[in-house]
Amino acid sequence: MKFLMANWYIFSIPFLYGMMLLIEFISQYSRVAGYFLDRNAIAYSLQNTTFTLTRFFSVLLMPLIGLMVDSNYTPGIFIACVLISYFFVSILGIMVFINRMHICAFYIRFIRSYINGGGIIKSFINTIRNKHEELGCDIQEVKSYKIDFKYFYISSFVYSIHAIGVFMTFYLALISPTNKIMITQMSGVINAFATLLLTFKIDPALSVAIERRYNFISAFMSIFYARIFVFLFIAPFIFIMLYITTA
């Protein structure tokens, strides 16, 4: 218990960050289910509804990262905590990828129940209860696709900004305490910039692919691969280089 209390950041920050991204990963497959059911509007709405659950974890996460900065933890400890968070998210992302067929099937059953007037809670219970029912549609396309490198490269750039934005600003605040208030405020600016790129580039591209019924699964999975690639390689590499440069 003493070890847990003394090293709370090693467990709490990666856990909160991981749960936040896990919900986001899972919520994205709602659009895949909507694609197979041709219920794109309700699927997108369901994705946004599920995504709001991440706010609970982000509200808890930000003060804890700020507490690390205010407590003057060493840069090495901060970087270690960030790297653990990234690798934990990578593992969760890989687990979601492995179980993508089951997640798609869950959302398909949920959307059907919801359309039939089940309501969110009732539809969730019905989906769990009827998890062995036939889907009535072929989702094998989720297993067979080609990587679209255009989507992969763009997504890698956008999600790299998302992944490093908050942690990098707090790290810079840690090593430059005289300007930490101004620096930490920059995290919102960086995330806003990444969100704009996401909103004006990636989301519309996926929506067009859905409406055209062409290349959507390849585009979606390319973006999903990019997210895992960012957390597994790009973001850790950037932070390691940042630490080497500033140490």
Is residue 24 within 8 A of residue 51, CB to CB? The reply is yes
Mind listing the pLDDT tens digit of every residue in the chain (247 residues)? 565 666 777 889 999 999 999 999 999 999 999 999 989 889 989 998 888 889 899 899 988 998 888 888 889 999 999 999 999 999 999 999 999 999 999 999 999 988 887 788 888 888 888 877 788 888 899 998 899 998 899 899 989 988 998 899 899 888 887 777 776 777 777 777 777 777 777 778 787 777 777 788 999 999 999 999 999 999 999 999 999 998 7
From CA 87, how far away is CA 244, in angstroms rounded? Answer: 19
Is residue 122 within 8 A of residue 113, CB to CB? The reply is yes
Delimit the domains of the chain by residue range. Answer: 10-246
Which of 228, 108, 243 is CA-nearest to residue 171? 243
The DSSP string of 184-216 is: HHHHHHHHHHHHHHIIIIIHHHHHHHHHHTSSH
